[in-house]
């Protein structure tokens, strides 16, 4: 597999990345400060996706439903019932985990292409449901959380999530926790079993592992992390809308993970970061070169997917691991 | 209008829907059956067919029938050529690996959408029907063109059926579908069959789009709904089973027409999608398909 099991370089690298992201907030200009906060939250989504796709080898085309479960699971109770931030964040994660459990129980009965289509269909049902329950969710238009609804306040603490620096800090904290969870999973016996399932499920079963239970656990963890990203998104940026449940938000984490490198711990973060800036920069540049061509993100996403899958299937960190750094988790 | 005529109108609308859906789903089913890949970009080939129909119909002035016939002849050819090229340039290089091809066709979907947005624009544009004739039923008048769509679709379906079952090309395709390795061993150029099937599938979607575009305007995002519906049809009918696909298209088209006339269309779509996901989970061979080989 990954050559050796070197603990020191692995942990050093991850702590260094986390530290660098913390330090970045003091040097970044305002505009990039906001982007990086958003990228960190979305990277958590990608990391959740990576657990299922990268490690367990299950290509889901419906992860938007878990992100949206966290988004609405956290946002709607605040908006409609005046819940506080912390319980609704937990509730959002719970919604995602429960949904992942139910979907997993059903969808994991299928394999290969059928699994992709089943998850796609369930996510489509979820998307239609956000439209159908328009009275609660306001569908495409979405809902905005007010300033006062995004404050954690008790006797001793006062945290204002709408504040620029607090928002960065919260996103950073979530990212750090999720990244460390991913590293622990990747290095644990459970993670090794997932990789074994990806490489050869039949053989893993013959060795006495319960592949169904392991895949289901991966699905629930993946769904919970994606939901955590969704819940954090609504709390930090104050907006929830049906677009986050649409098919495009199932494809984006796939793209980010493919670009950064599937089954690498840092790949999702790198992929999200690069893709975000690529879309941002190329959009402006291309529209300047070809005025009136209506170039949008969809074209870049499409071209990136085709090029990646054709010429660069292992992604950036996957290639680096293959060529040089065999110990990368 | 009382319930009876209302139901008749809904059924007629459903039949038009079913006719177009059958063509499109047949293309998807053919590609899945022979090549064992899921073509997520199928809806965009449908969209391209409609958008090209608009281009061709605006190139000819005078009688709208001329422009329509030109579109009917040329736009499937152009779409077929695009599909052929993308098969050669992308899918073949991936060795038809199911996961890689699904990602690639998702990419293709977005690229085609972007191309349509760039060259066609974000607006919906109408294509005039080739003739305006109303069939006067005792309760309401009904567009003769819509009835013609049903007829044309039946003719095309029958034609495809004949090609598949009675000709040498069909034999080669069925042999490849049944066992591609043995087919290869018997000297069938499996590689070229794949490219042909992919182009044929896209052409069926394009023909369906040209037929529907005088009823429904051309728009660069119009591929999504038909894609989902044809997935539903192909799954209910059994992946890769052509007869099942036709039966399922009739059922889905009719029920979609009737349900969305009497109930909320979003709810109808939601329930249908959920039902189909359950079919795929519990009866992967489809409701009408035989057990998997």
Per-residue confidence at B174, pLDDT binned at 50, 70, 90?
A: confident
How far, in Å, CA of B87 to CA of A179, rounded?
Answer: 38
Per residue in B72-121, pLDDT (tens digit) is: 999 999 999 999 999 999 999 998 888 889 889 999 999 999 999 888 88
* Any A CB within 8 A of B95 CB: no
Note whether A132 contacts B: Cβ–Cβ < 8 A: yes
How far is the CA of A175 from the CAs of A40, A129, A329, in angstroms? 6, 29, 17
Q: What is the ipTM of this complex?
A: 0.83
pLDDT of residue A126: 92
Measured CA angle at B132 (ends B130, B136), to 5 deg: 140
For residue A49, the distance in angstroms to the closest alpha carbon of chain B comes to 15
What b/e sequence results for A216-240 when a residue is b if at least 16 CB atoms lie within 10 Å of its CB, and e otherwise?
A: bbbbbbbbbbbbbbbbbbbbbbbeb
Cβ of A4 under 8 Å from any chain B Cβ? no
Q: Test A121 with B276 for CB contact under 8 angstroms.
A: yes
Terminus-to-terminus CA distance in chain A, angstroms?
Answer: 10
Query: At A210, phi and psi to the nearest 5?
Result: -85, 95
Strands A151-153 and A158-160, bridge-based pairing: antiparallel
| CA of B132 vs chain A CAs: smallest distance (Å) | 35
Cβ atoms of A223 and A99 within 8 Å: the answer is: yes
CA A112 to chain centre: 22
Mean pLDDT, all residues of chain A: 88
Asked if B281 has any chain A CB less than 8 Å from its own CB, the reply is: yes
Predicted confidence (pLDDT) at residue B4 exceeds the cutoff of 70:
yes
Average pLDDT along chain B: 86
Q: What is the pLDDT of residue A292?
A: 67
| Closest CB from A125, A258, A306 relative to B111 | A306
Say which of A117, A118, A310 has its CB closest to residue B93: A310
Chain A closest CA to B262's CA: distance in Å?
16
Task: Note whether A56 contacts B: Cβ–Cβ < 8 A.
Answer: no
Residue found under tokens 């999702």: A268
Shortest Cα–Cα distance, B157 to chain A (Å):
26
Helices (H), chain B: 3-35, 42-59, 64-86, 98-120, 144-166, 168-178, 180-185, 190-212, 224-237, 242-262, 265-282
What kind and span of H or E run contains B142?
strand B141-143
In this structure, of A53-62, B12-21, B46-55, B138-147, the range with the lowest mean pLDDT score is: B138-147
Q: Is B273 an 8 Å CB contact of chain A?
A: yes
State the nearest Cα–Cα gap between A166 and chain B, in angstroms.
36
Q: Which of B113, B121, B278 is closest, CB to CB, to A298? A: B113
From residue A157, how far is each of A46, A62, A88 by CA, in Å?
Answer: 31, 38, 18
pLDDT at B292: 46
pLDDT tens sequence across A255-291: 999 999 988 999 999 999 998 888 877 777 777 777 6
pLDDT digits (tens, 9 = 90+) for A156-182: 777 777 788 888 999 999 999 999 999
For range A226-234, the mean pLDDT: 95
CA distances from A146 to A160, A227, A237 (A): 12, 21, 10
A143 φ, ψ (degrees, to nearest 5): -125, 150
**Domain limits, chain A:** 7-247
Confidence of residue B178 (pLDDT cuts 50, 70, 90): confident
Instruction: Return the residue matching tokens 């799954």.
Output: B235
Chain A residue numbers touching B229 (CB-CB < 8 A): none
Closest CA in chain A for residue B32 = A113
Tell me whether A124 touches chain B (CB under 8 Å): yes
- Which of A59, A297, A301, A309 is the best substitution to test chain B (most B C-beta atoms within 10 A)? A309
CB within 8 Å: A294 and B276 = no
Chain A contact for B279, CB < 8 A?
A: no
Q: Hey, are the CB atoms on A303 and B102 less than 8 Å from each other?
A: no
Q: Which of B100, B112, B281 sits opposite A118 (nearest CB)?
A: B281
| pLDDT band at residue A60 using 50, 70 and 90 as cut-offs | very high
pLDDT of the residue at B293: 42
Which chain B residues touch A112 with a CB distance below 8 Å? 98
Chain B CB within 8 Å of residue A107 CB: yes
A173-223 confidence digits (pLDDT tens) = 999 999 999 999 999 999 999 999 999 999 999 999 999 999 999 999 999
- Reduce the DSSP state of residue B213 to 3 states and report it: coil
Task: Tell which wins on pLDDT, A141 or A49.
Answer: A49
B121 to chain A: closest CA residue: A294
Cβ contacts of residue A29 below 8 Å, gap of 6+? Answer: none
CB-count burial class (<10 Å; 0-12, 13-18, 19+) for B205: buried
Instruction: State the pLDDT at residue A71.
Output: 94
Residue A23 CB: number of other CB atoms within 10 A?
A: 10
For the question of whether the overall pTM of this predicted structure is more than 0.90, the answer is: no
> What's the token pair of residue B142?
């009904």
* B139 confidence band (pLDDT: 50, 70, 90): confident
**Partner residues linked to B143 by β-bridges:** B134
pLDDT in tens, A3-28: 456 788 888 899 999 999 999 889 98
Lookup: tokens for A302: 């499409």
Question: Would you say residue A137 has pLDDT above 70?
Answer: yes
Q: Do A309 and B103 touch (CB under 8 A)?
A: yes
Share of chain A above pLDDT 90, in %: 52
How large is the average pLDDT for residues A252-256? 93
Q: Which of A174, A161, A217, A170 is nearest to A47 (CA)?
A: A174
Whole-number pLDDT of residue A62: 92
Which of B94, B106, B118 has its CB closest to that of A295? B118
| Token pair recorded at residue A179 | 């990244």
pLDDT of residue A41: 95
Lowest mean pLDDT: which of A118-132, A310-324, B234-248? B234-248
- Average of pLDDT values for A314-322? 87
Confidence band of A234 (pLDDT split at 50, 70, 90): very high
Q: DSSP per residue over A140-198, as a string? A: TT-EE--GGGGEEE-SS-EEETTSHHHHHHHHHHHHHHHHHHHHHHHHSHHHHHHHHHH
Inter-residue contact A239 to A144 (CB < 8 Å): yes
Q: In terms of CA atoms, which chain A residue is nearest residue B282?
A: A109
Contact A121 B115 (CB under 8 A): no
CA distance A51 to chain B (A): 17
């Amino acid at each position: 597999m990954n050559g050796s099991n070197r603990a020191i370089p692995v942990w050093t690298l991850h702590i260094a990345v986390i530290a660098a992201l913390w330090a970045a907030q003091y040097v970044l200009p305002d505009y990039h400060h906001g982007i990086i906060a958003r990228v960190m939250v979305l990277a958590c989504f990608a990391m959740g996706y990576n657990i299922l796709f990268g490690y367990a080898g299950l290509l889901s085309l419906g992860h938007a439903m878990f992100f949206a479960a966290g988004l609405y699971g956290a946002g709607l109770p605040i908006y409609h019932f005046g819940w506080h931030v912390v319980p609704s964040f937990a509730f959002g994660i719970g919604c995602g985990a429960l949904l992942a459990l139910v979907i997993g129980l059903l969808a994991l009965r299928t394999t290969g292409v059928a699994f992709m289509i089943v998850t796609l269909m369930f996510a489509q049902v979820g998307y239609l449901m956000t439209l159908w329950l328009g009275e609660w969710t306001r569908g495409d238009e979405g809902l905005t959380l007010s300033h006062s609804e995004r404050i954690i306040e008790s006797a001793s603490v006062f945290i204002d999530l709408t504040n620029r620096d607090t928002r960065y800090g919260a996103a950073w904290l979530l990212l750090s926790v999720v990244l460390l969870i991913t590293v622990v999973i990747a290095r644990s016996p459970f993670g090794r079993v997932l990789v074994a399932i990806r490489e050869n499920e039949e053989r893993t079963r013959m060795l006495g592992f319960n592949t169904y239970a392991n895949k289901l656990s991966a699905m629930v963890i993946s769904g919970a992390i994606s939901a955590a990203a969704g819940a954090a998104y609504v709390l930090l940026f104050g907006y929830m809308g049906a677009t986050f449940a649409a098919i495009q938000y199932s494809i984006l984490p796939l793209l980010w993970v493919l670009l950064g490198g599937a089954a690498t711990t840092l790949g999702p973060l790198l992929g999200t970061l690069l893709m975000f800036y690529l879309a941002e920069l190329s959009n402006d540049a291309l529209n300047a070169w070809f005025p009136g061509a209506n170039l949008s993100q969809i074209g870049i996403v499409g071209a990136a997917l085709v090029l990646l899958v054709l010429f660069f299937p292992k992604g950036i960190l996957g290639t680096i691991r293959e060529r040089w750094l065999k110990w990368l988790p | 209008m009382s319930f009876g005529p209302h139901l008749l109108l809904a059924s007629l609308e459903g039949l038009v829907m079913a006719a177009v859906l059958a063509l499109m789903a047949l293309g998807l089913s053919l590609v899945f059956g022979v090549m064992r890949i899921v073509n997520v970009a199928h809806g965009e080939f449908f969209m391209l067919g409609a958008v090209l129909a608009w281009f061709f119909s605006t190139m000819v002035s005078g009688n709208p029938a001329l422009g329509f016939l030109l579109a009917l002849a040329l736009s499937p050819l152009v779409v077929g050529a695009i599909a052929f090229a993308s098969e050669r340039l992308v899918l073949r290089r991936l060795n038809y690996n199911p996961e890689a091809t699904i990602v690639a066709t998702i990419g293709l979907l977005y690229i085609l959408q972007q191309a349509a947005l760039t060259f066609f624009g974000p607006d919906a544009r109408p294509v005039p029907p080739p003739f305006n004739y109303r069939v006067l039923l005792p309760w309401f008048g009904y567009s003769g063109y819509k009835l013609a769509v049903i007829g044309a679709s039946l003719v095309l379906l029958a034609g495809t059926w004949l090609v598949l079952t009675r000709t040498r090309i069909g034999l080669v395709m069925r042999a490849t579908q049944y066992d591609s390795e043995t087919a290869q061993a018997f000297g069938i150029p499996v590689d070229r069959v794949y490219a042909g099937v992919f182009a044929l599938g896209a052409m069926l979607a394009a023909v369906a789009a040209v037929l529907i575009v005088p009823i429904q305007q051309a728009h660069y995002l119009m591929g999504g709904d038909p894609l989902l519906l044809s997935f539903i049809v192909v799954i209910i009918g059994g992946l890769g089973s052509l007869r099942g696909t036709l039966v399922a298209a009739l059922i889905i088209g009719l029920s979609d027409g009737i349900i969305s006339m009497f109930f909320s269309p979003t709810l109808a779509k939601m329930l249908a999608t959920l039902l189909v996901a359950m079919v795929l989970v519990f009866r992967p061979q489809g409701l009408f398909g035989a057990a998997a080989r």
